[in-house]
Amino acid sequence: MPPIVVPPLIGPLQRELTLAVSERGGTRRVRLWCAPIRGTHPRPAEACGVLGRAQGDPASIRPPWRGCPQYYDAVTATATGTWDGRFIRYSRTFSNKCEMYAATGPVFAF
């Protein structure tokens, strides 16, 4: 009898993302799992809370308004992974870190 092969969990409880921030000095990456909460993100519970309200999509985060200085020091935030069975791919370049934090809260704060 051949061995039974069990596929990896892909479904409502799989919530894992690789997050990256790229700027002049290089790229930083972290892993974030939200079911259960863990990973290399420094504030995983806060990031998972924000992403949970946005159904895992950083583009759907609705932060409170926050003003930022008007200077250009580009930073690109990316997220790839799965959230409740859906593939997530997000990439956005912001004028500076303040604008990134204002738009995404703690998700890319690492």
Q: Please report the beta strands in the chain, taking only residues with DSSP state E, as ranges in sequence order.
A: 15-23, 26-34, 37-39, 75-83, 86-94
What are the residues whose beta carbons fall under 8 Å from the beta carbon of 12, sequence distance 6 or more? Answer: 84, 85
pLDDT at res. 64: 80
Reply yes or no on whether the pLDDT at 7 is more than 50.
no
Q: For residue range 62-72, what is the model confidence (pLDDT) as tens digits?
A: 888 778 999 99
User: pTM for the whole thing?
Assistant: 0.85
| CATH classification for the domain delimited by 15-108, as one of 3.30.350.10, 3.40.718.10, 3.40.50.300, 3.90.76.10 | 3.30.350.10
Reply yes or no on whether the pLDDT at 1 is more than 60.
no
Q: Which amino acid, 51?
A: L
